[in-house]
């Protein structure tokens, strides 16, 4: 089979690899759609494991079922989670599934930027979800990133009527925008340095957009009756974005660190001011099976409609181009690889 082998962001090669052989409790998936995530192009993190096949936003069709698997059959259309919690450790039992050690060591073989992948037993047991008839393979590739957004907004306790500031209008920022709108947020304000993405945010429902090079806090007050934002979400990894977040949150508000920043970066926090003003700082990483189920239902019911976010549909041989589009963060939103797409 063909795979897109990652060496670095500017070196992604189309190579041949054997179709994975499955064993008991496993599945063989024909990959129909695999989204390129911003974390796929986080080179400082990825390059240490190179060469490897990336891609974790996967939807496809089961083409082989291993011995002992009775919940799925050949021909089933599914989404498959790459990271799976054990559901039994101290952290899972306390609701912190994304810090589970098992979650950080599970994956599928080899990755979503391949024609086929093997789904290991643990992933098969608790990380495979049937796609509803209303959800296409392309839409199904949004389940993983949307589930991450679902978890983040659940932890941040977004409430109807709140003002939400989203720093960064790339794909994660736009998914936050779509979900916040569906949950009844009041004003939603987004930022970015690219006019293309600001225009996209406006098109997808932002009440106001701000060039990220401006004084964000002052501009938020202009659009929000003199107040700062109740919930600030960082969806870009540059340190100035995190500093903007600290300056833009209102009393009693929350700063949600959704995007990571570069390795080794520390953020100075005005602890006394935040203590006095009741401000919450919180991160959110990944998602749990519950979040995936909720994301699927949001997509099935049409509460979140992400298909118009897709700007590029590329074949496996164009994965290198896809990495460039995502890493440049310019005139693209969602880039999807379709491994069986005709050239």
- pLDDT mean over 190-199: 97
As a whole number of angstroms, the distance between CA 62 and CA 100 comes to: 28
pLDDT at 47: 86
- pLDDT mean over 16-41: 96
pLDDT at 159: 96
Report the 10 Å Cβ neighbour count for 260. 15
Residue pair 83/101 in contact (Cβ under 8 Å)? The answer is no
Cα–Cα separations (whole angstroms), residue 239 to 242, 295, 330: 5, 30, 19
Q: What are the structural domains, with CATH classification, of the chain?
A: 2-142+306-338 (3.90.180.10), 148-283 (3.40.50.720)
Residue pair 82/61 in contact (Cβ under 8 Å)? The answer is no
- pLDDT mean over 141-161: 97
pLDDT at 343: 63
Residue 149 region by backbone torsions, left for phi larger than 0, else alpha for psi between -120 and 50, else beta: alpha
Give the burial class of 290: count Cβ atoms within 10 A of its Cβ; 0-12 exposed, 13-18 middle, 19 or more buried: middle
As a whole number of angstroms, the distance between CA 37 and CA 138 comes to: 14
Mean pLDDT of the chain: 96
Mutual angle of helices 171-182 and 143-156, in 10-degree steps: 60
pLDDT at 289: 95
Report the 10 Å Cβ neighbour count for 151. 23
pLDDT at 240: 95
Reported as a single tens digit per residue, the pLDDT across 176-192 is 999 999 999 999 999 99
Task: Calculate what percentage of the chain has a pLDDT beyond 70.
Answer: 100
- pLDDT mean over 257-277: 92
pLDDT at 156: 97
Q: Residue 46 above 90 pLDDT?
A: no
Quick one: DSSP state of residue 20? P
- pLDDT mean over 215-239: 97
- pLDDT mean over 250-271: 93
């Amino acid at each position: 089979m063909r795979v897109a082998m990652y060496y670095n962001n500017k070196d992604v090669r189309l190579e041949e690899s054997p179709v994975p052989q499955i064993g008991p409790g496993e599945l063989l998936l024909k990959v129909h759609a695999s989204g390129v995530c911003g974390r796929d192009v986080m080179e400082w993190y990825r390059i240490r494991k190179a060469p490897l096949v990336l891609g974790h936003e996967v939807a496809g069709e089961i083409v082989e079922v291993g011995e002992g698997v009775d919940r799925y059959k050949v021909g089933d259309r599914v989404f498959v989670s790459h990271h799976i919690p054990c559901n039994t450790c101290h952290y899972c039992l306390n609701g912190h599934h994304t810090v589970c050690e098992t979650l950080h060591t599970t994956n599928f073989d080899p990755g979503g930027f391949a024609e086929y992948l093997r789904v290991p037993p643990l992933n098969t047991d608790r990380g495979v979800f049937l796609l509803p008839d209303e959800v296409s393979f392309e839409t199904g590739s949004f389940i993983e990133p949307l589930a991450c957004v679902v978890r983040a907004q659940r932890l941040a306790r977004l409430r109807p009527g709140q003002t939400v500031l989203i720093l960064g209008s790339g794909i994660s920022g736009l998914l936050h925008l779509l979900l916040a709108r569906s949950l009844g947020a009041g004003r939603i304000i987004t930022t970015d340095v690219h006019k293309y993405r600001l225009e996209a945010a406006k098109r997808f429902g932002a009440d106001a957009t701000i060039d990220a090079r401006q004084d964000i806090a002052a501009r938020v007050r202009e659009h929000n009756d003199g107040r700062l934002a109740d919930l600030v979400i960082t969806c870009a990894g540059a340190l100035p974005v995190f500093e903007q977040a600290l300056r833009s949150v209102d009393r009693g508000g929350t700063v949600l660190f959704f995007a990571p920043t570069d390795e080794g970066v520390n953020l100075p926090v005005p602890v006394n001011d935040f203590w006095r003003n009741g401000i919450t700082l919180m991160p959110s990483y990944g998602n749990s099976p519950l979040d995936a189920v909720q994301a699927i239902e949001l997509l099935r019911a049409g509460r979140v409609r992400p298909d118009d976010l897709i700007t590029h549909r590329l074949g496996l041989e164009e994965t290198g181009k896809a990495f460039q589009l995502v890493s440049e963060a310019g005139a693209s939103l969602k880039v999807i690889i379709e491994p069986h797409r005709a050239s």
